[in-house]
Amino acid sequence: MYLIDTNIFLEVMLNQKNSDVVKGFFNRATFLQLFVSDFSLFSIGIIHLREKNPEPFLKLVNDDILASGIRTISLPLDSYSRIVEHARTYNLDFDDAYQYAVAEHFHLDLVSFDHDFDRTEKKRVTPDTLFR
């Protein structure tokens, strides 16, 4: 089971250098094994609404998340202290510490291009290494 980090979705949405890798990952994935945090969706929504371009965000939510069966999860409030712990222990910023806490709480592997997770106990996996 896998938590998909924000940067994985943005890679395709912003047509960045690894977008083909991510598309291949999603073509091979079993969507019932994939999760996205509420924070990732909020972050993507903030980016697109700030740019006055909500359509990619709506497409992600409606066509990609809801239609595929990827499940959205939230960190329970009583686990928020883990965000601060992870930020201190692994020198993570808030968004990475939140993602890490969600992955830890739900026992998920973290799929990300973010090298900051390499400093953590759980590490990360990249899309090109999964579902071959």
3-state secondary structure of 119: helix
pTM of the full structure:
0.93
pLDDT band at 96 (very low <50, low <70, confident <90, very high): very high
Query: Tens of pLDDT along 43-93?
Result: 999 999 999 999 999 999 999 899 899 999 999 999 999 999 999 999 999
DSSP designation for 49: H
Domains and CATH numbers, the chain: 2-129 (3.40.50.1010)
> Which single residue is written with the structure tokens 């992600």?
60
Handedness of CA 59, 32, 73, 87 (dihedral sign): negative
Mean pLDDT, residues 28-44: 94
The answer to whether residue 132 scores a pLDDT higher than 90 is no
